[in-house]
Amino acid sequence: MEPVREFVIGISGESGEGVVLAGEILTIAAARMNIHSSSFRTFPAEARGGPSVVRLRLCRDHVYSLGDAYDVLIAFNEEAYQLHGPALGRHGVLVVDGDPEKPMSTRYPELADRTVYHIPMDRIARKDVGEPKTKNMVALGATSALFGFSREILERLLAEKFTKRGEKMMRDNLNAFMAGYDYADSQIEKQDPFEVEALEGDGFFVLAGNEAVALGALYAGCRFFAGYPITPASEIMEVLAAELPKVGGAMVQAEDEIASMGMVLGGGFAGVRSMTATSGPGLSLMAELIGLGSMAEIPCVIANVQRGGPSTGLPTKTEQADLTLAIAASHGDAPHVVLAATTIRDCFEIMEEAFEIAERYQIPVIVLTDQALGFRRADLPKSLLRERTGRALPPAPPDIVDKARYLRYQLTQDGVSPRSVPGQPGLAHVVTGLEHNEEGKPAYDPKTRRLMMEKRQRKLEGIARDYGSVLRYGDPEPEIGVIGWGSTGGPIREAVQMACDSGIKAAGLVPRLLYPSPNHLIRPFIESCKKIVVIEGNLTGQYAAFLRSQFPGFDPKQVNLYDGLPVQRGDVLRAIQEVAK
Amino acid sequence: MNPTAPAQASTAERKPSDYRSGRKPVWCPGCGDYGVLNSVFSALAEVRIDPDRLVVVSGIGCSSRMPGFIKAYGFHGAHGRAVPVAVGVKAANPSLDVLLVGGDGDAFSIGGGHLPHVARRNMDLTYVVMDNEIYGLTKGQTSPTSQPGTVTKASPYGSSEQPILPVMLLLAYGATFVARGYSSRPKELAVMVERGIRHKGFSFIHVLSPCLTFNKPVNFDYFDSKVLPLPEDHKPDDLFGAMKLASDPDKLYLGVHYEVDRPSFTERLYPGGVRPDPEPAIDTEALIRRYS
């Protein structure tokens, strides 16, 4: 049988059974074997109880989505199979906790022509290891043996993982892993083609989107973070809470999201690259102060990891429904910027752009990601970090000859005025949320009002021009165009390729700068396609509506998914095929 | 603000007038805030604060216009959010001196949720709250410190709510410096502000500062009849004693009710209370190990 090197594993069980840990360890093991991966975990909103699943896609090249059906499903119990079995592919393999003497296929006729490996995970953990909680390690051992993961690498990884948890914990987990491995190795006759193979290289490191946002900020020179705990964004705060003090930075856990945003304005005003991270409910609370940042022209970055809304909505699930809020974000006409990260790597890289735009244009920048990106893990090359110093120079004082006549809000062609920060001698000024004149003094006369409104708004032109970034995939002369944003970017990239491979002339466009809209880059795409689909993870088609406002007469087909699950490449492919009919 | 690690206090001698921005205050004639502003000028000069390293932060309200009248960096922000902005300035760059100013509505109503947290963090900030027991900028509505029965357009039948006791509140929140001053006693107030600035951690100064336009009954005569000095035997580290004094709504004691020494936020955050210079480099290899 020809081995299949690229496949999708699902690991499922009750929350609390160690499903997530097993998945994380397997992901890192793959990275050490130079195997690319994309993985995702879902879990219930409650801290404990309920079903939990990790999806791990393994490939020989970097991948941009989670793939389609499971090729291999590891079920820690029968209920997990009942729940996730429907997502198992037609030629998929089931590895399940159970007695080989009582095969699952007698109870589940759909398993009759599939490969099922019964591993007595629970029994081995209880009887052989003597610690029922190590069931996940038994499963990990069996999985490693069955699908070609390096025993050596995993044993070393487990030793590293458990060394701080005490000797008994380490021994039990290692024993469980080896018992699972040995059982599968000696008792199971492999009948499936799925088997990974170690490749050459110096390995990858693996980040979830939230970790990538945090490290991206760190390497972009962010040295102040204020935030309030919220699912699914808290990991950004947690990573920076650990890392910022090491580099002379500071993190404050604020009393609420309004305070977080206020603190970030304070940090930005003080001349330190500052950010907060939140999710929809928090962004709603921050709206007023984002307007203050726009009015007082203070650099700041807000990462918003979208979850299902409105209200408390679906805290642990994904959606792309904060776009309209992000673009509006304040009362009044308050120019600011909205970026959307498209992949895990982009979560890292986009932070550099966000801080650069914020500082150069003295403007609040919202970075949209979502739970689907925040919790998805992917491999990244080590060079991504190694080629950066991660240091931002403190803002240089503006070159002002006659300091007595320094105008903080001087009217300029590009709307950007000379900015000094506290500590710079002779350039003290007062910023205010009131309308103000060039000096910064409150002023309400109609002329000043008009000039200042226009000055602030002008900054958007430069931003759209200089930072207008879109990703384009597929056929150069497409029949069908797909437009999406944020976490749908990866699935669009892969689905467009699959459509092209099947003979459909398809192309994809994924803008990263959503507002101000880089219309000069979007228009040629729209004009080049015969039919256009806008696919996004919300009910009403927020980006489609925005594009309609930008391009009169533009009338795309809308595909909207709002079930809390990530948009998959299969969803995109179906949309393309539907339009191609 | 921490006298043991002052990147802030310069050695050059300063005059109160050095801190005048030249902008004319927008307050009504007779407003108590004029006296407070003068006390702030005196205190800044006494500590010899470098105006280029000073940030005055406020929210919205009549008294919140104060940053514009002080020659320093200033942040006149959003209603109720002076505290978070000041926390951000100080946490991001602890070598700056940060002075918070504002009124009772800004501090105790819309911004009231921030007070317990800035106090328990013991952030190195001095907060001067000018209390006129009314919303003046919006032309006279009751504030959290208005007396019961206060008649305004929004409370035509007289306010039925009890006023909060600001000094009591801050004592309960764990503030490490709590004082009360009076705008018609500017010298005494200046010393209080100066002590607050020198205090390590969070210092709160409740200032009686009447609004003669929109709260006519609560005028200088009214406060004159209620203020009195702290009892001579009151010890500033006696929390329960301070609370007892603060709990009497009819006696407004003037002076430093409470002062204790506790590590400040920036002291715990940065060794020596200042950001390391040069900034330590990111340990890239350690990060790669952590995630691989």
Look at residue B130 and tell me if it is in a domain. Answer: yes
| Cβ atoms of residues A144 and A187 within 8 Å | no
Q: Are strands B126-131 and B177-182 parallel, antiparallel or unpaired?
A: unpaired
pLDDT band (50, 70, 90) for residue A41 = confident
- Listed in sequence order, the DSSP H helices in chain B are 33-47, 82-92, 104, 115-121, 166-172, 186-198, 220-226, 239-246, 265-269, 284-290
Domains of chain A: 7-187 (3.40.920.10), 206-386 (3.40.50.970), 403-467 (no CATH), 470-580 (3.40.50.920)
CB contact under 8 A, B92 and A224: yes
CA distances from B133 to A314, A411, B139, B146, B150 (A): 43, 40, 13, 5, 10
Selected residue of B73, B115, B267 to mutate for chain A interface (largest A Cβ count, 10 A):
B73
Res B263: pLDDT: 95
Q: Which of B20, B50, B76 to mutate to test the interface with A (most CBs of A within 10 A)?
A: B76
Measured between alpha carbons, how far is B200 from B121 in angstroms, rounded to an integer?
A: 12
Give the pLDDT score at B2.
39
Residues A294 and A336: beta-carbon distance below 8 Å: yes
Distance to chain A for B181, nearest Cα, Å: 26
Distance between CA A81 and CA A570 in Å, rounded? 22
Interchain proximity A428–B284, CB inside 8 Å = no
A207 interaction partners in chain B (CB closer than 8 Å) = 291
CB-nearest to B81 from A205, A289, A421 is A289
Distance from CA of A550 to the nearest CA of B (A): 32
Retrieve residue A515's tokens.
């507002």
Say if the Cβ atoms of B287 and A215 lie within 8 Å: yes
pLDDT of residue A246: 95
- Phi, psi angle pair for A55, to nearest 5°: -110, 130
- Please give the full DSSP string across A288-334, using - where no structure is assigned: HHHHHHHHHT--EEEEEEE-B-STT-BTTS-----HHHHHH-SSS--
Asked whether the beta carbons of B127 and B180 are under 8 A apart, the reply is no
Domain membership of residue B183 (yes or no) is yes
Residue A93 backbone dihedrals phi, psi, to 5 degrees: -115, 135
Task: Report, as an integer, the average pLDDT of A490-495.
Answer: 98
* Half-sphere exposure at residue B257, Cβ-oriented, CA atoms within 13 angstroms: 31
B149 part of a folded domain: yes
The SS3 of residue A384 is helix
Question: What range does the domain containing B25 cover?
Answer: 16-290
pLDDT > 70? residue B60: yes
Please, is A414 exposed, middle or buried when counting C-beta atoms within 10 Å of its C-beta (0-12, 13-18, 19+)?
middle
The pLDDT of residue B143 is above 90: yes
Mean pLDDT value across chain A: 96
Mean pLDDT, rounded, for A329-358: 98
Q: For residue A519, what are its two tokens?
A: 């219309």
Compare all CA atoms of chain B with the CA of A202 and give the residue at the minimum distance: B292
Tokens 């005055």 sit on residue: B56
Cβ contact, residue pair A423, B68, below 8 Å: no
Instruction: Yes or no: say if B242 and B178 are a contact pair by the CB < 8 Å rule.
Output: yes
CB contact under 8 A, A226 and B51: no
A61/A475 Cα distance (integer angstroms): 21
Number of domains in chain B: 1
pLDDT band with cut points at 50, 70 and 90 for residue A49: low
> Which residues in chain A have Cβ-Cβ distances shorter than 8 Å to B81?
258-259, 262, 289, 292
| Residue B84 included in any domain | yes
Helices and strands counted in chain A (H then E): 19, 21
Find the range with the poorest average confidence among A9-13, A97-101, B10-14, B180-184.
Answer: B10-14
**pLDDT at B102 exceeding the cut of 50:** yes
Residue B280: the pLDDT is 94
Say whether B73 and A205 touch across the interface (CB within 8 A): no
What's the number of CA atoms in the CB half-sphere (13 Å) around residue B10? 15
Residue B223 predicted with pLDDT over 80: yes
Residues of chain A with pLDDT > 70, as a percent, come to 99
Q: Smallest Cβ distance to B76: which of A268, A270, A433?
A: A433
Per-residue pLDDT, B271: 77
Which residues of chain B have a CB within 8 Å of the CB of A29? none
Nearest chain A Cα distance for residue B45, angstroms: 17
Interface test with A, best of B284, B285, B289, B290 (most A CBs within 10 A): B284
Phi-psi region of A332 (alpha: psi -120 to 50; beta: other; left: phi over 0): left
Mean pLDDT of chain B: 95
Distances B46 to A262, B8, B129, B201 between C-alpha atoms, Å: 30, 13, 20, 19
Q: Which tokens belong to A307? A: 């979850």
Q: Which residue is listed with tokens 């990884």? A: A157
Chain B neighbours among A 438-467 (CB < 8 Å)?
441-442
Instruction: List, as ranges, residues 280-299 from A with C-beta within 8 Å of B.
Output: 288-289, 292, 296
**Domain annotation covers residue B69:** yes
Asked if ipTM goes beyond 0.95, one says yes
A–B interface: beta-carbon pairs under 8 A: 192
In terms of residues, how long is chain A? 581
Contact B71, B36 (CB under 8 A): no
**Does residue A198 register a pLDDT over 50?**
yes
Nearest to B84 among A243, A263, A426 (CB): A263
Place of tokens 């409104």: A453
Give tens-digit pLDDT for A235-293: 999 999 999 999 999 999 999 999 999 999 999 999 999 999 999 999 999 999 999 99
| Token pair 């008994």 in the structure block, residue | A168
Query: Burial level of A191, CB count in 10 A (0-12/13-18/19+)?
Result: exposed
Joined tokens for residue A78: 């029968």
Task: Kindly report the number of other CB atoms within 10 A of residue A130's CB atom.
Answer: 11
DSSP per-residue string spanning A209-273: HHHHHHHHHHHTT--EEEE---TTTHHHHHHHHHHGGGGT-EEEE-SSHHHHHHHHHHHHHTTS-
Per the listing, tokens 């309030």 go with A228
In this prediction, residue A529 carries a pLDDT of 96
Phi, psi of A162 (to 5 degrees): -100, 0
- A432: which chain B residues are within 8 Å (Cβ-Cβ)? 68, 76-77
Pairing type for strands B177-182 and B252-259 reads antiparallel
Calpha distance A264→A534 (Å, rounded): 34
Q: Chain A interface, mutation test: which of B55, B93, B97, B122, most A Cβ atoms within 10 Å? A: B93
Q: pLDDT per residue over A365-378, tens digit each?
A: 999 999 999 999 99
For residues A169 and A124, give the distance between their C-alpha atoms in angstroms, rounded to a whole number: 16
Averaged pLDDT for residues B103-129: 98
Using CA coordinates, name the residue in chain A closest to B290.
A205
- What are the CA-CA distances from residue A355 to residues A275, A306, A467, B65 (Å)? 9, 20, 12, 31
Chain A, residues 374-403, CB within 8 A of chain B, namely: 382, 385-386, 388-391
C-alpha dist (Å) from residue A234 to A231, A344, A442: 6, 17, 38
CA distance A258 to chain B (A): 8
Residue B272 has pLDDT above 90, yes or no: no
Residue B144 lies in a domain: yes
- Is B3 within the bounds of a domain? no
Tell which A residues from 139 to 178 touch B, by Cβ distance under 8 Å. none
Torsion angles phi and psi, residue A207, rounded to 5: -130, 145
How far is CA A287 from its chain centroid? 22
Radius of gyration of chain B (CA): 20
B78·A260 Cβ contact <8 A? no
The pLDDT of residue A46 is above 80: no
Give the SS3 label for residue A109: helix
Residue A267, helix vs strand vs coil = helix
Does B74 contact A428 at a Cβ distance shorter than 8 Å? Answer: yes
Beta bridge partners of A73: A10, A94
Q: With 50 as the cut, is the pLDDT of residue A128 above it?
A: yes
With cut-offs at 50, 70 and 90, classify the pLDDT of residue A16.
Answer: confident
Interchain contact, A265 vs B85, CB within 8 Å: yes
How do residues A134-191 score in pLDDT, each as one tens digit?
A: 999 999 999 999 999 999 999 999 999 999 999 999 999 999 999 999 999 999 999 9
For chain B, say whether A205 makes contact (Cβ under 8 Å).
Answer: yes
Residue B188 burial by CB count (10 A; 0-12/13-18/19+): exposed, middle or buried? middle
- Pair A485, A514: CB distance under 8 Å: yes
| Triad B232, B233, B237: Cα angle to 5° | 110
Name the strand (E) or helix (H) holding B271: none
Distance CA(B248)–CA(B168), nearest Å, equals 10
Of B109, B39, B101, B62, the C-alpha closest to B212 is B62
Please check whether residue B251 lies inside any domain of the structure: yes
| Chain A residues whose beta carbon lies within 8 Å of the beta carbon of residue B61 | none
Contact partners, residue A469, CB within 8 Å, separation at least 6: A353, A511, A512, A513, A518, A521
Distance, CA of A533 to CA of B17 (rounded, Å): 66
The CATH number of whichever domain residue B246 belongs to comes to 3.40.50.970
Q: What pLDDT was estimated at residue B249?
A: 85
